[in-house]
């Protein structure tokens, strides 16, 4: 696996059970995956020699991020390495403009977009939106490559602001695209897997909640989604994985507009934050499934184990608390014995993803469990209670504060 972050770390965890061991290309021995994998190649994804060293003798090469240059992957492919997802597919997860163009060709729903190569293109696109949507027109500017966790996404409120962002980024050599800002009801993610043999599998569609442009909470499955819409999202994701020739897992990030439309935001061809709930909430986790897919095993059952599972990211606090992470963990375990904690071995920095919590709802929807739990409630209350506990737990792990005022000494 190219990259030694938390996705590689959790993929290694899944590999162990399959009798496999992940070799990783990491920048440093302190990378999250390098801390736990015995087989680490130190190097960078920008170096073809480092890529060759990690690929040599491996069954397949796969990724924990989207940064590896296409030209290097084409070289590996020519040298006989099984690169999954293949670079011909991966490019649509690396390049947002190529993705938008290909999706439009395939007839998938995307927001209106335009390539921005000069500030004048911003005026032109703003005007086009204005003519079409009037007072409801709004724009998003995006770096075509390299953005993550909302870095590389700008939501300007005025044309002047949009022009200023574009001028600054273009001056700094950042290629840009502009797209229509969708009036969001919420954001969804449809995750699928596809094997070289051509088998496909889809997990239930989930809702993702973003804060400051980055994923904070996932509700799985998304609530209040009609069977028809869920089916549509699943077939869209399965169809795209087939058309694009994806091997491995793919997340299709979706917008549900206030008019009930589904619009594709972007594609991720690797384990994804919106799939972390599957580690505890599904028969087969995204990490195991990714390995099954890239190793061309039959795929696993993607059924949910409970009516709802909520994942909450542990996001670094503005200032890291004095209480150690280990002591916070100890208190969390004492209060919420059913909380499943996944820590990435990363230093705490503001807003950095350092771990996540999964709370799997009770199997019949009538047990919430734990000291704050309610019982005998309806489904929405049940989901809200599971979510509240996941968020309480994640916030506690990040800040050493219980937002509901609970005290371990009380
Ligand atoms: N066209 C749009 N209309 C409305 N909101 C948008 C639009 N594009 C992006 N956003 C908001 O910005 C967030 C981040 O955008 P995007 O997913 O393109 O960036 P990213 O940095 O690649 O994301 P990730 O966090 O998945 O790495 C989206 O989840 C959404 O909340
Ligand atoms: Mg995104």
For residue 45, the 8-state DSSP code is T
The CATH architecture annotation of domain 184-399 reads: 2-Layer Sandwich (3.30)
CA of 149 to the centre of ligand 2 (A): 7
Question: Rounded distance, CA 366 to CA 215, Å?
Answer: 28
Question: Rounded distance, CA 312 to CA 396, Å?
Answer: 11
Report the DSSP beta bridge partners of residue 50. Answer: none
Report percent pLDDT > 70 for the chain: 96
pLDDT of residue 147: 79
CA neighbor of 356 nearest in space, from 346, 342, 344: 342
User: What integer best gives the mean pLDDT of the chain?
Assistant: 94
State the average pLDDT over residues 120-134: 95
Most distant CA atoms of the chain, gap in Å:
65
Q: What is the residue extent of each domain of the chain?
A: 6-83, 112-180, 184-399
Question: Rounded distance, CA 251 to CA 288, Å?
Answer: 15
CA of 195 to the centre of ligand 2 (A): 24
* Residue range 299-343, pLDDT digits in tens: 999 999 999 999 999 999 999 999 999 999 999 999 999 999 999
Q: In which band, very low, low, confident or very high, does the pLDDT at 377 lie, cut at 50, 70 and 90?
A: low
Question: Rounded distance, CA 192 to CA 288, Å?
Answer: 13
Task: Give whole-number Cα distances, 104 to 99, 139, 181, in Å.
Answer: 8, 19, 17
Quick check: 328 and 396 in contact, CB under 8 A?
yes
Chain centre to alpha carbon of residue 94: 14
Kindly report the protein residue whose alpha carbon is nearest to atom 15 of ligand 1: 150
State the average pLDDT over residues 9-18: 97
Q: Ligand 1 pocket, 265 CB below 6 A?
A: yes
Evaluate if residue 12 carries a pLDDT over 50: yes
Evaluate if residue 372 carries a pLDDT over 70: no
Instruction: Tell me which CATH code domain 6-83 carries.
Output: 3.40.50.20
Contacts of 348 (CB under 8 A, 6+ apart): 316, 317, 320, 325, 354, 398
CA of 266 to the centre of ligand 1 (A): 8
Task: Give whole-number Cα distances, 293 to 182, 201, 251, in Å.
Answer: 33, 10, 14
Ligand minimally distant from the alpha carbon of residue 99: 1
Q: Does domain 112-180 have CATH number 3.90.190.20?
A: no
């Amino acid at each position: 696996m190219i990259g030694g972050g938390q996705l590689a770390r959790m993929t290694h965890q899944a590999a162990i059970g399959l009798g496999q061991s992940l070799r990783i290309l990491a920048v440093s021995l302190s990378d999250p995956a390098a801390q736990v994998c015995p087989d680490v190649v130190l190097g960078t994804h920008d170096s073809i020699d480092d890529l060759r060293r990690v690929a040599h003798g491996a069954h397949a090469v796969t990724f924990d991020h989207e940064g590896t240059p296409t030209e290097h992957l084409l070289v590996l492919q020519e040298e006989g390495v099984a690169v999954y997802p293949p670079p011909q597919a991966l490019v649509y997860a690396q390049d947002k403009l190529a993705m938008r163009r290909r999706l439009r060709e395939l007839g998938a729903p995307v927001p209106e977009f335009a390539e921005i190569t000069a500030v004048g293109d911003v005026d032109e696109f703003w005007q086009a939106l204005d003519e079409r949507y009037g007072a409801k027109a709004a724009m998003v500017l995006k770096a075509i490559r390299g953005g993550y966790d909302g870095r590389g996404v700008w939501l300007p409120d005025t044309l002047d602001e949009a022009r200023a962002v574009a001028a600054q980024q273009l001056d700094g050599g950042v290629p840009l695209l502009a797209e229509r800002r969708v009036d969001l009801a919420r954001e969804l993610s449809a995750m699928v897997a596809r094997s070289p043999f051509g088998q496909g599998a889809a997990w239930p569609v989930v809702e993702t909640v973003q804060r400051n442009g980055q994923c904070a909470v996932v509700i799985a499955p998304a609530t209040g989604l009609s069977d028809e819409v869920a089916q549509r999202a699943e077939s869209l994701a399965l169809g795209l994985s087939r058309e694009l020739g994806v091997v491995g897992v793919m997340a299709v990030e979706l917008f549900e507009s206030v008019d009930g439309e589904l619009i594709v935001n972007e594609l991720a061809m690797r384990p994804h934050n919106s799939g972390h709930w599957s580690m505890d909430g599904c028969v087969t986790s995204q990490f195991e499934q990714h390995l099954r897919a890239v190793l061309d095993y039959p795929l696993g059952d993607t059924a949910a184990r409970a009516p709802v599972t909520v994942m909450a990211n542990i996001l670094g606090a503005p200032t890291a608390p004095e209480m150690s992470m280990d002591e916070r963990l100890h208190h969390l375990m004492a209060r919420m014995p059913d909380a499943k904690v996944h820590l990435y071995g990363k230093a705490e920095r503001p807003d950095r993803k350092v771990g996540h919590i999964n709370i799997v709802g009770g199997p019949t929807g009538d047990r919430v469990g734990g000291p704050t739990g309610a019982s005998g409630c309806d489904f929405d209350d049940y989901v809200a209670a599971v979510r509240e506990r996941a968020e309480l737990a994640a916030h506690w792990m990040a800040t050493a504060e219980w937002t509901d005022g609970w005290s371990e000494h009380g």
